[in-house]
Amino acid sequence: MALLAFSPLLSAQERSKDYRFIDDPCDPSFTLTVGLSVPGGWQKSTQARIAFNYQNRDNYRYLKISAWGVAFVRVSDGVHRKIGADLPFDAHLLTPPLKVVLKRSQWRLFASIDGRIVALADDAVGDAPDGRPNRIGVWYSDDIRPQEDSLRYQPTGDIFFADDFTRSPGEASEWTPLSGNWENTGIDGAVAREDMSANPFAYIAQKGKPGLTVTGRPFWDNYLVEVSAKSESTGAMGVCVYFQDDRNYLLFRWFSEGHSSRSGGEREIVLLRDGKEQVLARGSGGYVPRQWYRISAKVVESLIEIDIDGATVLASSFDVFGQGKAGLYSSGGGIVQFDDAAILSCHNFSDDFSQEFAGRWNASAEAAKVKSGWLLIRGGTALAGIPAPDIYRLQTQVKFANGGGGLYSRMPTQRTDFCLRFGTVQRNLLEL
């Protein structure tokens, strides 16, 4: 399996590409898909590039796809630098035609090929300096054949979805049942009585075969799905994320107390890929029948995290899909009730320092590097290369060989910096 291995600084020959631009301007967040064929197989010279946020020849971004790897590249004042992480990739193992997906979600960049995540990067970018909109363009080497009419561009935005399952007779549902028997009705299975409660409705999976229902758009990504759920008996219930089709999705499956799956877990994160299950994470602790719980699943980049009643119970990384619909799941011999579902965009920033991630941190220190799961800084600062929101929480682990350090916050809108300093020196909050 090959890893990307070209230099962060690219040669003049590498930089001389003429792009064909699409008519649409480049939006702050978007999804672009294109199909590619390589009739003669991948050669050393085979290459495709998708340029975006193109301002001029000296300032833009692009996704580079070659036989040796895939990477995002930032072009600033004519200098080309690779950004993001090196992910395993071998074009020779792929079967054309290839489906390439490129996504920008604000400062987060993502690319997949045939459903497998192949590139991730962080990138803050502004509007074109002359006021013209940013553009999107493509360039292919002569041995690549783009599929006719395969290029699709979709502007995207933040996800704000909420459903309390209140329905008038005959009103259409936001959900599409794929298996099982689903219906809207009153809490505890009774016919809805609007005079008895502020919200007497629920979405119910009837007992019988496993049930799955989905909502949303295929291009949804980086989101939190949460729902209140209660099962009347033993069995399983849960939530689904990044649904592609009934053979491909991620699932949190929660069994009742005293029951477990074949893998031995009462809680588990399951990857269903081409109809085959792979348990990514498992844990103990089954649900109690006839008790309401608040279940949430958060997917950001290549990490899924499960919370129950506000406490994180499972987490895992994954390397497929990167986008998809959300859903609800039930299985077993009893009715499962769902209520107050919500799906919201997540713009979390995280780094486990398991590998170098070019462009993620802007370090002023002479010696700043990633080693053994830590970001090591000696005599300086390291600022995340993303715009900070107005309100946020920063959490990390810190240890000192000697001296002191702390957490640093730069507030560009207020022209003020703050530093929470601690360690072997006195703890204090500094305004700079």
The boundaries of every CATH 2.60.120.560 domain in the chain are 12-155, 160-345
370-375 contact pairs (CB < 8 A, 24+): 374/399, 375/351
Question: Contact, 355 vs 85, CB < 8 A?
Answer: yes
> Residue 396: pLDDT band by 50, 70, 90 thresholds?
confident
- Residue 147's pLDDT is what? 83
Q: What is the DSSP letter of 189?
A: G
- Residue 365's pLDDT is what? 58
Residue type, 199: N
pTM flag (> 0.85): no
> Residue 315: pLDDT band by 50, 70, 90 thresholds?
very high
3-state secondary structure of 344: strand
> Residue 366: pLDDT band by 50, 70, 90 thresholds?
low
- Residue 426's pLDDT is what? 57
CATH topology for the 160-345 domain = Jelly Rolls (2.60.120)
> Residue 158: pLDDT band by 50, 70, 90 thresholds?
very high
**Mean pLDDT, residues 302-306 taken together:** 93
Choose among 98, 51, 103: nearest CA to 219: 103
Cα–Cα distance, 121 to 109 (Å, whole number): 5
Query: What is the DSSP secondary-structure string of 50-63?
Result: EEEEEEETTEEEEE
How far is C-alpha 242 from the chain's CA centre?
9
Is the per-residue pLDDT at 167 higher than 50? yes
Range in 150-159, 222-231, 288-297 with the lowest mean pLDDT: 150-159
| 264 or 118, which is more confident | 118
Q: Which CATH class is domain 12-155?
A: mainly beta
What proportion of the chain, given as a percentage, has pLDDT over 70? 80
Residue type, 431: E
Range in 16-30, 275-289, 390-404, 412-426 with the lowest mean pLDDT: 412-426
